[in-house]
Structure 1
Amino acid sequence: MNFYIRKIKEEEYPVLEDFLYEAIFVPKDALPPPRDIIKKPELQVYLTDFGKNPGDYGLVAQTGDKIAGAVWVRIMNDYGHIDDNTPSFAISLYKQYRHLGIGTAMMREMLLLLKQEGYGQASLAVQKENYAVSMYKNVGFEIVDENSEEYIMLCRL
């Protein structure tokens, strides 16, 4: 699969709604939630005024003329919140682009960008059943906390 990773353009910010929905983990044999779930306040923190605050960074993976995936970070009080100096990750790919190494490449590129911007660490929350847990570990994230459903993971840069 040929793809490249680049910074998201401001006019592309609306596509983050699609990728936020795609990021919702759906357990095997479960039905996906309705699309309007992304309007909930606890999910809107990933989108509202994106690009207007320090610590808002976004990258997309592009294949041909199509955006295949997105990774974005911001300082926010989300599920993976560590502190007000640690950006939290959101990442997803359209289903047909998963398991091809694109997500790993996007994660590595964003971690490099954050390091270049002077951040010392980044965090995320992930459902324990999510196959992406192993990918997050492979790019340097460690489990620092957990509850019955999720891991809170931290990567020191």
Structure 2
Amino acid sequence: MNYRIRQARKNDYMLLDEFIYEAIFIPEGMEAPPKSIINQQDIQVYVSDFGKKKDDYCLLAEVDEVVVGAAWVRIMNDYGHLDSETPSLAISVYNEYRGHGIGTALMEQLLISLKEKGYKKTSLAVQKANYAYKLYLKVGYEIVDENEEEYIMVRYF
């Protein structure tokens, strides 16, 4: 599958509401929550006023000039929060485009950009049942903490 990775522009930031919904892990056999779930504060922290903080950074994946995936970071008090120096990562690729290397490419390019910007590490939280944690391990994240449901992972540069 042919795709390209590009930096998001201001007018792309509105897409993050859709991608944060797509990023919600839904265990097999469970029903997807209503889209209004993204209005909850613990989810809005990932997207609200994106682009207004100096550490906000987003890459998009396009297939035939249609955005099919996003990976973004910001320093925020989210599930994977470590400290005020470490950006937390979120990523999502539309279901029908998964399994084609797009998520890996988004992550790898985002990690290169973060290193070039001088960050020392990035973090994320992922549910243990979510197969995506294997992708995170593949691109160099390490499990540094866990609770009953989630792994907290860090990628050092």
TM bin (shorter chain): over 0.9
Once the two structures are superposed, what CA deviation does each residue of 1:78-99 show, in whole Å capped at 9, x if it has no partner? Answer: 0000100000001001110011
Q: Tell me what 1:89 maps to.
A: 89
2:129 counterpart letter in structure 1: E
Q: Tell me what 2:51 maps to.
A: 51
For the residues of structure 1 that align with 2:12 and 2:54, how far apart are their CA atoms? Answer: 19
1:1-157 alignment, distance < 5 Å = 1-157=1-157
Q: Which runs of 4+ in 1 moved over 3 A?
A: none
Q: Percent identity?
A: 54
For the residues of structure 1 that align with 2:147 and 2:40, how far apart are their CA atoms? Answer: 21
2:42 counterpart letter in structure 1: E
**Where does the alignment leave 5 or more consecutive residues of structure 1 unmatched?**
none
Once the two structures are superposed, what CA deviation does each residue of 1:106-134 show, in whole Å capped at 9, x if it has no partner? Answer: 00000000000000000000000101111
Give how far 1:104 is off. 0.5
Q: How many residues align?
A: 157
2:103 counterpart letter in structure 1: G
1:55 counterpart letter in structure 2: D
**Where does the alignment leave 5 or more consecutive residues of structure 2 unmatched?**
none
For the residues of structure 1 that align with 2:19 and 2:44, how far apart are their CA atoms? Answer: 12
> Is the partner of 2:19 in helix, strand or coil?
helix
The Cα RMSD (Å) is 0.5
Once the two structures are superposed, what CA deviation does each residue of 1:43-78 show, in whole Å capped at 9, x if it has no partner? Answer: 110011111111100000011121010000000000
For the residues of structure 2 that align with 1:26 and 1:61, how far apart are their CA atoms? Answer: 22
For the residues of structure 2 that align with 1:65 and 1:151, how far apart are their CA atoms? Answer: 34
TM-score, normalising length: structure 1: 0.99
